[in-house]
């Protein structure tokens, strides 16, 4: 037990307390929703995104140093916000959609939490891709990063539409989501990855975070949110990358 504890502490370092809080929040949020309604799960969403983003940035800083990580963060936030702004205004590249007023604050109609959510999940997707491809750059790495990141949206988009955080102009074939949305996610996440050029990351803790999101989202959507279809698809989609990363451990 002591050896296992030491291994966990060694893998996560100073981010371990934040990880514990994050896991607790992810587990408590669905239950809190029952007791507190919208305000409860909205607070849980915000807290979860901020905590997981902080953990990812800590690992980026550990791998690349403060100066480079500032550049990476700015690239991710700027490109993600611009893509969401252009997308919601023009339908390119995600399809026609718009944000409701539930997520606040917003900048020109785009909730500020949205680009933070991109920053939240990109480092785990990068770590998964680095483990699977054995590379930190190149076409294969960028492609697998984009696929691993987009697999998360198999959970996310139906869940956020179910909660009324954004609305699609035309219902699509994937539980109401247009397929163009996933093409947009692939394109923009690949672009961000190519521009950010992430460093060699501490893979194990970030892959653990990816796997935690994979499991907790599936359980939450089946048990608490009544979305068994997206739960199954997300479980299979993200599960492919968890399995591939595990095989290459």
Vertex 99: Cα angle to 21 and 104 (nearest 5) = 50
Going from the C-alpha of 237 to that of each of 166, 182, 218, 220, 234, the distances in angstroms are 23, 12, 11, 16, 5
Is residue 35 very low, low, confident or very high in pLDDT (cuts 50, 70, 90)?
A: low
Looking at 14-23, 49-58, 110-119, which range is the least confident one?
A: 14-23
C-alpha 111/C-alpha 106 separation (Å) is: 4
Total of domains in the chain: 1
User: Containing H/E element for 167?
Assistant: strand 166-168
Q: Is the pLDDT of residue 209 over 60?
A: yes
Question: Which percentage of the chain shows pLDDT scores above 70?
Answer: 83
Instruction: Find the domain containing 172 and state its range.
Output: 2-247
Provide the terminal-to-terminal Cα distance of the chain, rounded to the nearest Å. 22
Average pLDDT of span 2-18: 54
Give the integer Cα–Cα distance in Å for 129 and 199. Answer: 12
Kindly report which listed range (54-58, 81-85, 112-116, 229-233) carries the lowest average pLDDT score: 54-58
Contact 128, 241 (CB under 8 A): yes
Nearest-angstrom CA–CA distance, 102 and 191: 29
Report pTM: 0.90
Measured distance CA(119)–CA(210) in Å, rounded: 13
């Amino acid at each position: 037990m002591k050896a296992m504890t030491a291994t966990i502490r060694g893998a996560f370092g100073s981010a371990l307390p934040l990880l514990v809080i994050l896991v607790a929040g992810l587990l408590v949020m669905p239950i809190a929703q029952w007791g507190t309604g919208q305000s409860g799960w909205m607070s849980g969403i915000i807290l979860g995104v901020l905590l997981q983003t902080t953990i990812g940035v800590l690992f980026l800083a550990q791998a690349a140093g403060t100066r480079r990580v500032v550049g990476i963060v700015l690239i991710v936030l700027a490109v993600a916000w611009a893509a969401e702004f252009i997308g919601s205004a023009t339908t390119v590249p995600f399809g026609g959609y718009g944000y409701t007023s539930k997520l606040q604050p917003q900048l020109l109609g785009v909730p500020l939490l949205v680009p933070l959510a991109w920053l939240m999940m990109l480092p785990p997707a990068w770590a998964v891709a680095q483990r699977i491809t054995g590379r930190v750059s190149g076409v294969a790495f960028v492609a697998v990063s984009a696929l691993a990141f987009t697999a998360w949206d198999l959970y996310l988009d139906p869940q956020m539409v179910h909660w009324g955080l954004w609305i699609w102009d035309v219902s699509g074939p994937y539980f109401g989501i247009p397929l163009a949305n996933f093409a947009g996610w692939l394109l923009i996440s690949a672009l961000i990855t190519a521009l950010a050029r992430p460093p060699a990351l501490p893979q194990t803790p970030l892959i653990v975070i990816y796997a935690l999101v994979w499991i907790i989202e599936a359980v939450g959507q089946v048990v608490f949110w009544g979305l068994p279809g997206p739960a199954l698809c997300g479980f299979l989609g993200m599960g492919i990358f968890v399995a591939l990363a595990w095989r290459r451990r």
